[in-house]
Amino acid sequence: MPFKIISAQCTSCSACESLCPNVAISEKAGSFIIEAKRCTECIGYFDEPQCAAVCPVEGTCVIDTSLPRYQGPI
């Protein structure tokens, strides 16, 4: 289950962008988005998902439960 950004809450502060180890985060039309395919939930890199840990607005970088869990490198 990759992370996603609730765009209505995003302040576009860009804090998450440079921290993502998979370069999954980019800016689109004034808000930041996560490319689900690239997100590994930070597994294998850090103990905590970086985007959620740095985001100043609680509940903005959240798990997208509609997608399957990240399986690790194949």
Partner 1 sequence: MNAVAEPRKNVMAAEAGGKMRVIADYKGGRSSSSSSKRSCESRAAQGDLPSGIWDKIKNHPCYSEEAHHHYARMHVAVAPACNIQCNYCNRKYDCANESRPGVVSEKLTPEQAARKVAAVATSIPRLSVLGIAGPGDSMANPKKTFKTFELVATVAPDIKLCLSTNGLDLPDHVDTISRCKIDHVTITINMIDPEIGARIYPWIFFNHRRYTGIEAARILTNRQLQGLEMLTNRGILCKINSVMIPGINDQHLVEVNRAVKSRGAFLHNIMPLISAPEHGTAFGLNGQRGPTAQELKALQDACEGQINMMRHCRQCRADAIGLLGDDRRAEFTTEKIMAMDVEYDLKARRAYHAKVEDEREAQIAARQEELAKIAGEMDEIRLLAAVATKGSGLINEHFGHAKEFQIYELSTLGVKFVGHRRVDLYCQGGYAENDRLASIIRAINDCHAVFVAKIGSCPKLNLTNAGIEPVEKHAHEFIEKAAIAWFRSYLDRVKSGEIQHVQRGDAAIRQGPLISAA
Report the interface residues with ligand SF4, using CB under 6 A.
2-3, 5, 10-16, 19-22, 24-25, 32, 34, 39-42, 49-51, 54-57, 60-61
Check binding of 62 to partner 1 (CB under 8 A): no
Residue 54: CB atoms within 10 A of its CB come to 16
Check binding of 57 to partner 1 (CB under 8 A): yes
How distant, in Å, are the alpha carbons of 23, 54, 64, 65 from that of 13?
16, 10, 21, 25
Q: Provide, rounded to whole angstroms, the least separation between the CB of residue 51 and partner 1.
A: 11
- Do the Cβ atoms of 51 and 40 come closer than 8 Å? no
- Do the Cβ atoms of 53 and 16 come closer than 8 Å? no
The residue ranges that bind partner 1 (CB under 8 A) are: 9, 11-15, 18-19, 46-48, 50, 53-54, 56-57
